[in-house]
Structure 1
């Protein structure tokens, strides 16, 4: 029997905001500068690959320049302590969790530092700009690479793994995410059905927070997440 509780953590854009990456739904968020249908759908890519690539090229460059913050490092420490009983799911497409030391992160919305080939359907690490003439490293097809990003209308990655983890969760924490968009919006309900203690950690509480979560913690992620992690580590110190 596992001596540790099963912990599932979901992170969103709020955890990377203090690393200088824009949130999507804030007043100055990325989505306020672009129409979703122009840059974040398969149809947009088919219609104007250059516009979509330019959008994600800039985001990739911004993510590469950013550095993990105290919240990312705190979750890496939490994973190191709880090992196999800890599952980290992120809506973010940056790699700040990995650079802080987290492993096996479930990127449900894909990753900026990968591309997907529409010809051979293989993924490749990609750290530079993608253009319409970029060549797939696997099949060498031209003009076949797209950002490995789950766009609107597409199915998020790892859903079966995530739902299985939530069905066994003893603790579920949503960090830096509004939780308003499905399927992530349903995660807390799945966790509650399994009897998990549910926490929301966000810059500010949402209107629905107090009806969905057992505990709501408000404040900057770089302060609240390390405190949350340290409290759990101390509670289950052996």
Structure 2
């Protein structure tokens, strides 16, 4: 019995030793798990802070971008305004030169219509407009000839038939110049201007543009009419 008791005590001590080792291992594992969990929490918090900083930086960049876009738009608007002012001044100089003798002088109806059209330089093109603050192409020509008592319809198609067709070498100031999608087909006419002399015309070109002086010699020139 003494021997059996001694064996049991020895086994008990061994079991206690094993249990101690297992408890120590479990404690180490728990500590490692806690440390890993804390590291994960710290990493998560750091990542959240980094994301927050990135979002704030992105918002800041967007604000800077919007500010730059605003400055660019403002600069573009100023540039466009200055360009329009320079163009209006140039057109005014051309008008002054025309009145002073750049183009043929006289007191015929065509001269009066051309001179009046030159006073409208710089006014904006607006489709279907016929003055006094804006014009489309046929609206400008209609009002110009109206100044001398000649009535024209507000349409290029009927203005083309409003008088005899004139050869280019016989043009006089005030004659109407017509332009088409096919230069040899009057049925494609889409634009009209007023001849002011020296191969130049005054016309209302298109949306976004203004009444201006330009060369009559374009590839889409169809022909000329002298209203009567």
TM-score (norm 1): 0.26
User: Which has the larger Rg?
Assistant: 2
TM-score (norm 2): 0.27
More strand by share: 1
Larger RCO of the pair (alpha carbons < 8 Å, separation 6+): 1
More helix by share: 2
